[in-house]
Copies of this chain bind each other. A is one copy, B any other.
């Protein structure tokens, strides 16, 4: 009895081609191990039947999924979009499929999604940043799932990472700001708990300020989730209490854009009355008026290299070497000298 209108199986193909299922399987997976004549017969059967292999069955038998999982903190803004796109393109070229989920910056959700991805047989995992419950790393280690971290570079971490030095980048930018003559500095950071990138950016600012303790008289820092509105609110906050900073460094472009907008609503000119900087150099940074001076991150390059390395780890041709990518400061219009007092 033929099962009415259910997806055709290997056996259906085999029957139609008059061969065994093993031969059909070989035709599809290692065509050269079967003679041309039978191969053609099989392939035409595949074609007329519209056969597509059942993925779950393949996985069960082969114990390989050719799937890579990635969990990013958010899909709502473009922070990870470009890098992920490059990641996926490179994976696709190598025959892998990417499964993406977003954790909304929530550790529990991320953990759940990691387990889901593992249960689905992901051959490897891409995670953003290092900070997470050690239990997760133990779990992954037990399961022997290759893991690569991106958007952060910490050579001494237990897990290899491909990314940039968040602290150094912000350190450099802060020095530039100080060099311009700014003495009162404000920072609007993302939430640093459980987010090494945010934390290191703050440290970069702190370090630079500490190194210039004679030059800088005031540093105030506000933490808030990465959203435009929050950037605006934090900016208000910074400008309403105590002496106003002349430069506000933001943990990323999203916050910076919010800050710029609020500055304008307050009637402050950027950068004449207050300088504002971002981080990431996403499209938003160029759209903002004035265009944002920010830290450029090589998103596409990072994504591509991460794919290469992770596939290498999965296929055991790479050992998971940490890689540091360069960041650069891109000067646009939102950073200037402070007004003379």
Contact = CB atoms under 8 A, between A and B. Distances in A.
Interface of A: 5, 7, 50, 52-57, 59-60, 65, 75-78, 81-82, 84-85, 88, 97-102, 115-116, 118-121, 139, 142-144, 228, 257, 261, 283-284, 287-289
A77 B78 contact: yes
A52 B115 CA distance: 8
A60 B50 contact: no
A261 B283 contact: no
A43 B115 CA distance: 18
Contact of A121 (B56, B100, B144): B56
Stoichiometry, copies per complex: 2
Contacts of A76: 78, 81-82, 85
B101 A101 contact: no
27 contacts: A5-B142, A5-B144, A50-B142, A52-B118, A52-B119, A53-B119, A54-B60, A54-B119, A55-B119, A56-B56, A56-B59, A56-B65, A57-B60, A75-B85, A76-B78, A76-B85, A77-B81, A77-B283, A78-B78, A85-B102, A97-B116, A100-B100, A228-B283, A261-B287, A284-B284, A284-B287, A287-B287
Contacts of A143: 7
Given A78-B78, A139-B50, A142-B50, A55 B121 contact: yes
A221 to B, nearest CB: 25
Given A75-B85, A261-B287, 13 more contacts: A50-B142, A53-B119, A54-B60, A54-B121, A55-B120, A75-B84, A76-B85, A85-B102, A98-B101, A257-B287, A284-B287, A287-B288, A289-B289
A17 B119 CA distance: 22
A322 B120 CA distance: 33
Nearest to A122: B55
A244 to B, nearest CB: 23
Contacts of A144: 5
Contacts of A100: 100
Nearest to A116: B97
Contact of A99 (B54, B99, B228, B288): B99
